[in-house]
Structure 1
């Protein structure tokens, strides 16, 4: 396997072992690195209130602490949901927030949080034999072909827009192995305080024992919005994907609140994040929107009424309520409440480099740093890691 790094005016070809070595260097310190307090993507409107103890969110039923004049909570049929301020982390209202439920492809938010920092968007990868062998039957696919060459940024477009399980499998292989990726995702979830999540299949495919919760998915969505690459991918409406004939074809985000497809009006200020569906999970959604300098994240898991598009309409109603409730409710908990601060490693503040300078076509890290890092590990050890691709089969379709 060979990997091409495309830089302006030059091209570097690196062996698969060297790429894996560089990836391991990036993953080793970063797999558990989280912010003890993520930066605020936008100021919260209204007075700040002290969050109550987190056990309130473990109570069954709907939890809300309205002040006089607060808007009424909308009727929502989902088994679980959360409305939270992405800036402060305050949970404004919730229903069965910690109920363990299958997450479907909303689990790809955790996959991206775990793997994105280790794989520069400009890397070109030729899909090897076996990398697509264990994609589950009925999976949503973006069209990755064995033997085809793709930029990592193309694969991320396939993950976020088309929810492509084929793209997830290739990215997991690039980052080490399927089983290793699941283990790193599990560690990342714990570091973020997402203790309801149990990862069995990194793409969200229905697998026995794989669950998350409305609370945890809100944690992942909020954390993703603080990563410029994640935020850019999850807000993208459409992109071009490489075809087998050397050309490209268009793909469109399946998040209807973002695109307005299938008769669902686009939500004003929508900025992502990820939708999903499996036969066990039903329809699931992590939605985020920004209005008047305030960013909300809403999770909706498995609506029981209204059909396939109900997840979007229920998320719309909860977002409307959340924006209208500014200054009229006290929080019922915090997305930061369960974070493992004792073991969290603070991330450095982001560099002053403009986001535009780190577009997905670029290398994602300086060439010299990549090569020096790769040289620091033995090729034999990394080759061994590449061979440890223990793929766990799954059952049931996923979106």
Structure 2
């Protein structure tokens, strides 16, 4: 580490103060963590070189953020995209149920909220004791009801159903592929979903920076904002199954206890520990906080997020240590058209950027060009050897 706390070779952004480490978490309270993919220097620098640190980064001249027992966090402006500060912004973490925000960002534009669908046995195949709304197998519900169950009660059966419905012919597997492709399109290069709900799975990771990107996409959607800010709703009964209607309430305490709260998402698993994303608005300024790997010592995850939001609203407008990249910015080819990102799982980690910030590499381009040239030569030779046919041919 350099004296400033940034990784050796990292360039600090003008006006950024980098110190480290983050607030320590007692090791006795933390179970073994999953081994993350190898660090990718290009992915760690997304949003600005000052964000490529495992320590604390804040704008020069601003107060020191409150110490929270989380392994990483980010505070950013939802509208300008300014990153106001963070701690290990690009450190890998396990998402737990905040993964449901990626599901929402991916599937909300794909699914008709008025459509009535039937829940299957596979939808309800979730880890015993994990969060569920209480939907019935064979029950018929509007997709809007599934979204409310997902965001208010963190229903894992709702996550399975929405991923299946949005996954096309391949169902749940197609939904997961769509989620991972959308994460890459947003610029969340360190995010890889294995389950749509955030229940732990091998190789499932994200970062605080990626969560801020995903949350920004969610809060840009008016339908998401309405669902996510709903405090209570009724799950309709299923007379054919002898199931009565019941009420559910929003589990995100920020909505009830923080002035100007817009919503967010809570999460917890044994591996991930506490995770949290929350957003609020003060004086026309909308901020989001994302934190991973938190322990509840004296404050819950949403309270730690609230403390960081308080700090963020005290940072002057325009003061920043980086920015949230725009959707599609990192997947653009040199010609400006969108490129299909390679699957994250294929490389065991996030795909690399070239020095210009594009998601392709020169060796890959060389291989593709060689294949194209060889194919064209073979086709030309075959055409020369093929006998001429008179009149139209049918296939």
TM-score, with length taken from structure 2: 0.68
Contact 1:52 1:331 in 2 (8 A): no
Counterpart in 2 of 1:79? Answer: 71
Which residue of 1 is the match for residue 225 of structure 2? 231
Q: 1:158 to 1:53 in 2, by over 3 A?
A: closer
The corresponding residue for 1:323 is 313
Query: Secondary structure of 2:71's match?
Result: strand
Gaps in structure 2 of 5+ consecutive residues:
1-14, 17-44, 339-395
Which consecutive unaligned segments of at least 5 residues does structure 1 have?
1-48, 260-265, 347-399
For residues 187-336 of structure 1, the aligned pairs below 5 Å read 187-244=181-238, 245=242, 247-259=244-256, 266-306=257-297, 309-327=299-317, 330-336=319-325
**1:173 and 1:103 mapped to 2: Cα distance?**
20
- Supply the distance in 2 between the matched residues of 1:127 and 1:256 (Cα, whole angstroms): 29
Q: 1:71 to 1:107 in 2, by over 3 A?
A: same
1:111 aligns with 2:100: no
- Sort the Cα spacing of 1:60 and 1:131 in 2 relative to 1 into closer, same or farther, 3 A: closer
Aligned length: 287
Aligned equivalents of 1:148, 1:122: Cα separation in 2: 15
The aligned counterpart of 2:123 is 131
String of CA shifts for 1:262-316, please: whole Å, max 9, x gaps.
xxxx110001111111111111110000110000000111223515x52122111
The CA deviation at 1:173 is 2.1
Distance 1:103 1:81 in 2: 12
Q: Pairwise CA RMSD of aligned residues?
A: 2.3
Contact 2:132–2:155 (Cα < 8 Å) also in 1: yes
Q: CA deviation at 1:126?
A: 2.0
SS at match of 1:186: helix
**Which contiguous aligned blocks of 4+ residues in structure 1 show a shift greater than 4 angstroms?**
49-53, 343-346
Query: Quick one: higher RCO (CA 8 Å, sep 6+), 1 or 2?
Result: 1
Q: Distance in 2 between matches of 1:202 and 1:53?
A: 26
The one of 155, 168, 171 equivalent to 2:162 is 171
> What is the CA-CA distance between 1:178 and the residue it aligns to?
1.1
> What is the deviation of 1:341?
5.0
- Match of 1:98, SS state, is coil
* 1:234-269 CA distance string (max 9 Å, x none): 11111111234464211011111113xxxxxx1100
Alpha-carbon distance between aligned partners in 2 of 1:130 and 1:95, rounded to the nearest angstrom: 39
Paired residues for 1:377-388 under 5 Å: none
Q: Secondary structure at the match of 1:78?
A: coil
SS at match of 1:250: strand
* CA distance in 1: counterparts of 2:111 and 2:249, whole angstroms: 23
- 1:345: how far off? 7.5
Q: What SS class does the counterpart of residue 106 from structure 1 fall into? A: helix
Residues 110-132 of structure 1, C-alpha deviations (whole Å, 9 max, x = no match): 00111111111111112234332
CA separation in 1, counterparts of 2:276 and 2:79? 19
Structure whose alpha-carbon radius of gyration is higher: 2
Q: Distance in 1 between matches of 2:331 and 2:162?
A: 29
SS of equivalent residue, structure 1 residue 64: strand
Asked whether the 8 Å contact 2:263–2:280 carries over to 1, the reply is: yes
For normalisation by structure 1, the TM-score amounts to 0.68
Mapping 1:152-163, distance limit 5 Å: 152-163=143-154
The answer on whether the counterparts of 1:90 and 1:332 sit within 8 Å (CA) in structure 2 is: yes
What is the CA–CA distance in structure 2 between the aligned matches of 1:171 and 1:201, rounded to whole Å?
A: 12
Inter-CA distance 53–207: structure 2 relative to 1 (3 Å threshold):
closer
Q: Deviations over 1:30-80 (max 9, x none)?
A: xxxxxxxxxxxxxxxxxxx9999612111110001222xx33321222110
- Determine if contact 2:231/2:249 at 8 Å carries over to the other structure: yes
Any conservation in 1 of the 2:153–2:250 contact (CA below 8 Å)?
A: yes
| Aligned partner of 2:85 among 69, 93, 114 | 93
* CA distance, structure 1, for counterparts of residue 89 and residue 66 of structure 2: 16
Tell whether the 8 Å contact from 1:52 to 1:332 is kept in structure 2 after alignment. no
